[in-house]
Amino acid sequence: MFSNFMVTTWIAASIVAVVAGVVGFFVVVRGSAFAAHALPLGAFSGAALASLAGFNTLIGVIGFSGLGAVAISRLSQRGRRDVATALSLVMLLGLGALFLSLTTEYAPEVYSLLFGEVLGVSSSDLWPIAAVGAICLAAVILLYRPLMLSSVAGELAEARGIGQARMELAFLLVLALATAVALPVVGALLVFSLMVGPPAAARAFTDRAGVAIILAAVAALIIVWVAIAVSYLTNWPVGFFVGALGAAAYGVGRAWTSQRAREHGSAGSRAAAGAARLVDDH
C-alpha cells in the first residue's frame, strides 16, 4: 500500500483533496454547486481534445476549464446564472462529443477522464498537479477577503467597491484551476463529490469561515485516503468510495444541522446568524 507506486498516488490525491476542500467551501457559500458540476464536465472536452491531438492532457483541461468559466461569467451578466451555466455545459459537451468521434481508440481514455485514474498517476504528472494546485490555493488566499464579502453580503461588497461581476469571474477561474487539478486524478464525475460533500458538512458544523475551510480540507483528505486504502484492499474502484463517502459526509452535515435547529431554533434564523458572523469576521 505504501510502495513507490502508491506513494505518488497518495501525494496526488492529497493535493486534489486539499484544493477541492478549500475551493469547495466557497462553492457552498456562493451557491455555485451547478458551476462546480458543469466545469469538470466541460473540462473533460479539453482533455478529449488533448488526447486526440497528442499533447498534455492538463493543458487541455486548463484551457477548457477557463473557457467554461469565462462563458458562464459573461452569459450570467445577461441572464440567469443557472441558464448560463447550462448553456456553457451543453456547448462544451458538444465539443467533447465531436473530439471523441474523431478517434476510434478512446474507451480507456474516456473512462479515466470521467471516473479518474488515481492509481495511474505517474511521478511526471505529480509536479504539474502540484504547481497548479499551489497557484489555485495562492489565488484563494489573495482573494479571500473580497471573495468572502461578495459571497455573503453582495450589496455591502458593492458599496465597498467590490464588483460582483469581477469577483464572480475571479471565483470561476479559481474553480476552473481546481477542476484542472482534480480531473486527471478523480475524474469529471467525482470532482463534484469532493467539492460539495466535505465543504457542506464543514459549513454545517461551524459558522467560522477559517475553521470551516480547514474542516473541509481535512474531511476531503480523510475521504480520499480512506477511499484509496479500501480500494487497495478490496480491488473496488476508488471512485465508488469517493462518491459514497462524499455523500455520507453531506448527510452527516445535514443531520447535524437539523439537530441543532431543533435544539436552538429555526434553521432560517441560524443561517442568518451564520451569515452575519461571516460578515463581522471579514
Q: By the 8 A CB rule, do 270 and 221 touch?
A: no
Tell me, what's the pLDDT at 88? 84
In whole angstroms, what separates CA 64 from the centre of its chain?
15
Model confidence at 37: pLDDT above 90: no
228-263 pLDDT, tens digit per residue, is 888 888 888 777 888 889 888 888 888 887 887 777
43-96 pLDDT, tens digit per residue, is 778 877 887 787 777 788 888 888 888 888 888 877 787 888 888 888 888 887
- The one-letter amino acid at 60: G
Of 144 and 240, the structure prediction assigns the larger pLDDT to: 144
Tell me, what's the pLDDT at 234? 86
Tell me, what's the pLDDT at 23? 92
Coil, strand or helix at 47: helix
Q: By the 8 A CB rule, do 196 and 48 touch?
A: no
104-120 pLDDT, tens digit per residue, is 655 566 666 666 666 66
Indicate the number of domains in the chain: 1
Domain span at residue 158 reads 4-281
Residue 273 has which C-alpha cell? Answer: 446568524
CA–CA dist 10, 189 (Å, integer): 20
**Which residues, in sequence order, are CB contacts of 233 under 8 Å at separation 6+?**
none
CA–CA dist 170, 168 (Å, integer): 5
CA–CA dist 78, 87 (Å, integer): 13
**Which residues, in sequence order, are CB contacts of 169 under 8 Å at separation 6+?**
69, 70, 73
CA nearest to 31, candidates 116, 154, 121: 154
Residue 135 has which C-alpha cell? Answer: 497557484
Distance set, CA 274 to CA 133, 186, 206, 220, 271 (Å): 29, 32, 8, 22, 5
Tell me, what's the pLDDT at 112? 67
CA–CA dist 5, 54 (Å, integer): 25
157-203 pLDDT, tens digit per residue, is 777 777 788 888 889 899 988 888 887 777 776 788 888 889 988 88
**What backbone phi and psi angles, to 5 degrees, belong to 132?**
-65, -40
What is the torsion angle, in degrees rounded to the nearest 10, for the CA atoms of residue 251, residue 24, residue 13 and residue 51?
Answer: 120
CA–CA dist 59, 86 (Å, integer): 24
Task: Output the domain CATH number for residue 115.
Answer: 1.10.3470.10
Characterise 197 by phi-psi region: left (phi > 0), alpha (psi -120 to 50), beta (else).
Answer: alpha
